[in-house]
Amino acid sequence: MVTPVSQPKLFKLPDVGEGLTEAEIVKWHVQPGDTVEVNQTIVEIETAKAIVELPCPFEGVVAELLVTEGQTVDVGVPIIAVDAGGEGGVAPALAEPVSEPPAQAAALREEGVPTVNEPGMVSPQGPPKRTPVLVGYGVKEGTTKRRARKSANGASASPAAPAPAPQAPPAPRPSPAGDGLPLAKPPVRKMAKDLGVDLMSITGSGPQGSITREDVLAAQAGAEAPGTPVQAGPREERVPVKGVRKATAAAMSGSAFTAPHVTEFLQVDVTRTMETVKRLRELPEFADVKVSPLLLVARALLTAVARNPMVNSTWADGPDGAEIVVKRYVNLGIAAATDRGLIVPKVKDAHDLDLPGLARALNELAAKARAGKASPADLSDGTITITNVGVFGVDSGTPILTPGEAAILAFGQVRDMPWVHEGELAIRKVTTLALSFDHRIVDGELGSRVLRDVGDMLEDPIRMLAWSR
């Protein structure tokens, strides 16, 4: 009696946020042969917003990692195969078994046709429907299908039809497959598209003449032989634009050419603010948190928003015309430079926090950003932003609006400067504030009033108490 062999389960890259189309595999936490349990973290992925840890939807033994670290994968593409061994603990509908018998799959691979074991190939399962996933909404089944094989006379063969085993190993052949498309896996196709390389112009060096990543890089670099890595020369370096940097570039370009930006500047004597920061550090309410001038800048901006609600708005184009949506809450964004690039995590409902609570929220936000643990929820739904360029030793700048927001405040470095104080020249602590705003929503009078309010509160922090509601 022959014991049936269980088929590996395929876990597809899920949609971890509405609208996600792709993600980069950052780090695998498992390797082939490892035993995994339900909800065990198996991989870290980087989306356009954050690094996310994905849990395993079932238990078993890792059969194969279908993509490598550093690869960018489309949502719905299988990333790992796990042999569940017919045991329980499987989360149904989160992965699919290999649908082809082993002999047929081997024959298909010999033909040069990717099987469902290969990344990006999903067998049809009936009418499209949403697949439950551990996070997000998932993708529609059947939206990606295996290409039909071509018979010797050019006719399409059904995927279920048996294929005769080849008598001898086939010799490498040109890249285009029988359907006229170059033979390459989805990640390779995407890389070629991103680099502007025409796959039809490449002769593949992989199995059955398939095009590999090295072939694409060689073609992009103009190398003579396939597989030669990109060599930009000692005076140049090519850095792929992906992940956070890619998302930031798209967002900033869209913002700069959509919202008419205006930037105003104000130099402020913040000597009293710096003295207040020292006094706050001595209070028991702040014993367990870091107190910096940014805390009082944030409180001043929140107070200015309460006095001038229109600055905390967004422009919305609808079927019945444009609208200005005034937010009665403040999700305060704090721009943070990280190893992954610039991100803007948000302090949600910052207007409801007292000063110690705001200090703790800013500390937690900074720690998560530095550790790369900011979630997509932490990075979304902002209403107004602060960028602290002073930490880089910069006096000021013209910040670009976060898309969907009406204003962003830049806080420059605090340094000793000669200043006229109470009618006499003195050395004071001075900073430069810059407020960029969407001129469709915020006119010059409102923008100036908001900037002046923030400056007045930083010159004399007692005004924060007088103006708070």
Whether 164 is in a domain gets the answer no
Domain, as residue range, for 391 = 258-467
Give the DSSP letter of residue 56: P
Whether 310 is in a domain gets the answer yes
Q: Does 279 lie in the same domain as 212?
A: no
Instruction: For the chain, list residues with pLDDT below 70.
Output: 1-6, 17-19, 48-49, 85-180, 221-234, 244
186 CB neighbour count, 10 Å cutoff: 21
Q: Does 339 lie in the same domain as 268?
A: yes
For 406-459, how does the pLDDT look when each residue is reduced to its tens digit (9 = 90+)?
999 999 999 999 999 999 999 999 999 999 999 999 999 999 999 999 999 999
- Domain count of the fold of the chain: 3
> Which of 96, 133, 128 has its CA nearest to residue 115?
96
Domain harbouring 38, CATH code: 2.40.50.100
Single pTM value for the model: 0.58
Residue 393 token pair: 């030793």
The answer to whether 363 touches 371, Cβ cutoff 8 Å, is: no
Q: Does 368 lie in the same domain as 286?
A: yes
pLDDT of residue 418: 96
Whether 53 is in a domain gets the answer yes
pLDDT of residue 5: 56
Domain harbouring 282, CATH code: 3.30.559.10
pLDDT of residue 90: 44
Annotate 60-92 with b (16+ C-beta within 10 A) or e (fewer).
Answer: bbbbebbbeeebbbbbbbbbbbbbbeeeeebbe
> Domain boundary residue among 53, 83, 113?
83
pLDDT of residue 48: 65
Query: Catalytic annotation on 439?
Result: yes
pLDDT of residue 446: 96
> Which of 301, 323, 294, 260 has its CA nearest to residue 409?
301
Exactly one of 261, 351, 421, 439 is catalytic; name it: 439
Q: Does 196 lie in the same domain as 301?
A: no
Q: How far apart are the first and last CA of the chain?
A: 80
